[in-house]
Structure 1
Amino acid sequence: MNSFVILCLDDDHEVVERLSRDLAPFAKLFDIVGADSIKEANETLHFIEQNGQRAAMVICDNELGTDQGVDFLIRLDQSPATEQARTILLNNRPQLDTIMQAVNEGRLNYCLTKPWNKDELYRVLVKELTTYILKHPEEDWLKYSQVLDHRRILKAHIDRQMSSFRSGFIQNTNSLDDESLATQVADALHEFFDGNDESRACRTYSAGHLLTTEGEPNSFLWLITLGEVALYKKDNDGCKHEVVRVGPGHLVGGMSFVTGEPSFSTGITLSKTDVIKLDRQLFTKVMNSRNELLPLFTNLLLRNFNRRLQGSIKTELRLQQTLKSLDEAYHQLVEKEKMAILGQLVAGVAHELNNPVSAILRGSETLKDTVSKLTESQLSHDNKTRGNHILQQAMQSRPLSTSETRQRAKQLEGLLGDRQLARKAVQMGIDDHDHLTSWLLPQKNQLKQVMTEWDNYYQMGNFLRSINVCAHRIADLVKSLKSYARQDDETLHTVDVHEGLEDTLVIFENRLKRHHVTKEYADLPAITCQPIALQQVWTNLIANALDAIEESGEPGEIHITTRFTPESNQQKIDIVFEDNGKGIPEDEQQKIFALNYTTKREGDFGLGIGLSVCQQLINQHHGQIRVESEPGQFTRMIVTLPVK
């Protein structure tokens, strides 16, 4: 029995059998089960849940006798065993109203028209099952790589390993003081060489032993475990001066060992000194054999560099160059942060674009057939006029839900004597009393033929409406993404803040749709600013709010408020972002704007510069950003900007 199941639901037993045959390549890793009714499917899902399995994919026919396929897919989120399942809807012909219903409910990943192409089905299954598996980090991803998309799985596996290392790098050492960290490294190295020190890495030197020579190449790294070493530096006249003395836990030769540059100073033992001496080959051997030692050793090395820099006599001489280098590095980090967020946004927008594009393509293909049917219509002049009315009405109205259509059709069935005719009349919006008495009942004998012709007008209007909606959706997404992605403009513009906020919300829509977003916009004056810089601020603040509320796994709330606060000497506006996430402890609230400080949970590659960037950008606009938070209750980020 496998952990995951692929459920095939169709009231045609032959279709279920064909699906089972076409899905054979996945059978080693996924249990393939079939059902020919909603009842049997629900029983199967109940059995799956009792066995501790989960449904990875549900392939469902839309018809099922009474068009319940979409309703079944929408209800999948009600069960833990199916709430993350990927879904494919099968149709005998494209039915855009049911497809759009599933799209609007966020419960349709792909749509196939019968009879399907086996190769297309295989490609869709590989893509969707890969997406599903990668949402389950507890699984051994690599075992799925032979059947699913091995490139995506391998990349995700590597990213996860890097995430684990990064988490260990931060968490394993930040609580250790220098002495404890050095002791751990020394103990681990002694344990490694115990009884197997062929290279004599563990050595004892007497006083006056030369370790490094200033200006000469160095291929070794010394970890002092006992004793003392002095480091000397020559001045411009060639006179040697003692720079610093180091003892147990310190590294000698670290900089030249790492960079390959000549030694910065001369190191000489002052007393009997025990060291662990490593060359590059031995260092690589140790680190490959003891993976847990790498983050510890790296942190020890970085701490030694930090201490050496603090005491270096060249700090003052190189200060200006260092500040310049830091400034360049900072701007690179800012750009990396923006590109990292942009990458996440592009993925979400691409997902959002897929459904409207697919709907437009399928709708345009169907329109070809529908147009030819309308041109060949045998309807009377009056009925053609009525058909045009149905077309226009379909272009303006929204599709009814399946349950509402069924309920209204049931009321109309007794008058028309035919369930299908009643259902079509409800869908076309001609089931009210006036249309019933003037359109339907007077031509009841030929109503079936007339309704068939009218259905072509209805489908035409419905397809045109859906294409128009999808096209506007695509235009909004592209506009917002282009606004964020274009190069920063350092010139000042007079803009409406709300436009930038709305553009930012659009590109986050893929993540926001499962949460409740409320907006309270005041009547604001236009402000003079750098719009792209501010949009980067809004992006970071909304992304942080989403991260905070998504940690709980439950739908959250984000509240965006704008206020106009005129003062005697300067007019200002406030933009407030509030979420009901985990909140920020009081002792951390003053740290969140520090460079490299991050509260991202394990597995997230936060650079720790998002809020630091926000603060800098707001300061450049002569504004301020502050935080108000209550742990477990809310976090409120308040940006105040001058109008000019």
Structure 2
Amino acid sequence: MNAYVILCVDHDPIIIEKLTHDLAPFRDVFDLCSADNPDDANALLDECQHQGQQVAMLICHNQPGDDSGINMLVNIDNHPASIGARTLLLSDAPQYDAILQAVNEGRLNYCMHKPWRRDELQRVAEKELTTYVLRYCQHDLLRYAEALDHRALLDAQVEREINQFQSQLFSPSSSDTRAIADKVIQGLYAFFEGNDESKACRTYSPYHVLTKENQPNAFLWFIAEGEVGLYKTDDDGQEHHVSTLKAGSLIGSMSFVTGEVSFSTARTLTRTQVIKIDHELFAKIMRSRSELLPLFIQHLLLHFNQRLKRSIGTEIQLQQTLASLDAANQQLVEKEKMALLGQLVAGVAHELNNPVSAILRNSDALGDALQAVAQAPLTPDSLEQALTLLQTNREATPLSTAQARAYTQNLTDQVSERHLARDLVGMGLYQADEVSHWQQQLGDAFSPTVEIWRQYARCGRLLRSNHVCAQRIADLVKSLRTYARQDTEQRQRTQLLEGIEDTLTLFEHRLKPHQLDKRYHPLPEIVAQPYALAQVWTNLIANALDAMPEPGTLTVQTDLVDNDEASYIQVAISDTGVGMTPEQQEKIFALNYTTKREGHFGLGIGLTVCQQIIQQHGGDIRVSSVQQHGTTMTVTLPVSLSPATRKEPQL
């Protein structure tokens, strides 16, 4: 017995037999019932009500001079078993008065004359029954997909599932972190009850190590009971307790999601019950217990949000500390031996604003991007490609402006839409054969799928940006000692383009009113101090932006220069700013000299430090400027270090 009924009312048994035959394609999901007259039909309605069935469609004959058929159509909503039923009137000849009456009452959906064509009846029945099911069916719409309009039903089912997922994900209770955590942990325990072959549910004694700082981590740890301490090691090898996590907390979430090494060492402080899950087991759980997915995403977002707040709070305290140092040292600025240190402290506090501001912006953008990908349905192949794009954008090698423009032009001819081609290039999907493969596989779904992929790629770029910002903050703190020549950074193989691109990311908000022109030439790796060089790019780009009125053009150009003796890398950063006089250019690298306009922060130490860093790498830095036309700062670095510069600098 089906939930819905098609009821046919006609005094002619031949007509009933033909209706039954022509409506046969719908029998699998609708019961077919027939009656000779309206009285018998009402008896059938009573029987349907008793059995819990609803009439989805009424097909009724009306005879001239007998309005019983029309009256049944008009009063169809008065019976509980036929409320909202779609109506089809059969007539032997045009009956304009009867039809007009039914239309005026709003209860005639279609009128058909006898004899009818089978295909016409089936087409009308499919349309009317689809309308009814979409309006009243609260269970699985796909049950009716084969018999009715499968596209409309599929779209409606997807929309329902998305709305349901959205309501679960962003319900008012999402602000209650502990309540969400308890639901996730209870759901995990329910999954493993009687079937914990992987021994995910574990109990540890105190001082058991869960994750180790700077070591790979392949597990996500849910604390069900007990306490876990987080520890960080300073540059001198001393371990410090930084936080205590209790029941409901997550351990290893960032390294589990991103694949990065663990940020800290996690060690149990008490007897602790945990649920230990690897990637394969996590996927298995989410496939079999899909209701846990929105809860887990809530839990993860809230966890990341709390972690970000703690990080920002720590950086604010650091800025306050640096500001306090600056205030204390201001009294000693007049003394020659303390003047530079006082200025450097204030400079570091100022430099912290860029990465902290970037983290704040990225947190909002990442929340929007995660919401978008959480709501977006993808086929398994499309999802695999989306995750590949996320990872690729986390490790992206930047394209020059000219390369991006060329790829965009090539793809525009292929996809016929320039903005779509630009999106594909921006996410790193610019090979024509690969794009053609996805066009053929996805068909009409190609453009919507690209929009979803774009959000995944955006997540990858934001994760990379946050990592760069966090590393930059740590390096800025370290730079206090670096500036004061009390610390060293080990040289390592370095790709300059990545450092330049990461620095541009920090200035994304300041670049918005300007045009950025990247003219990158492929560069080899060199042995260098990447964070010291990042300090150089930061100073040069910040100075260029300060010098330019809006709108301007910032050009970053890299070249590889070969001569008879050695190979050199040149990095030129140009602006279209106010420029400098010859006298200013002669003094630009002098300590305590600044060209900053009134209202711009400048201590006159940035270029001095940049020059020292470049010279320690065996290179040089030059300035070329024309007033009212702009300035170019050119850094030249050797590809191979000379014997004199291979030793670590004595700082």
TM-score by length of 2: 0.43
TM-score by length of 1: 0.43
For CA contacts below 8 A with separation 6 or more, give which structure has more relative contact order: 1
Structure of higher CA gyration radius = 2
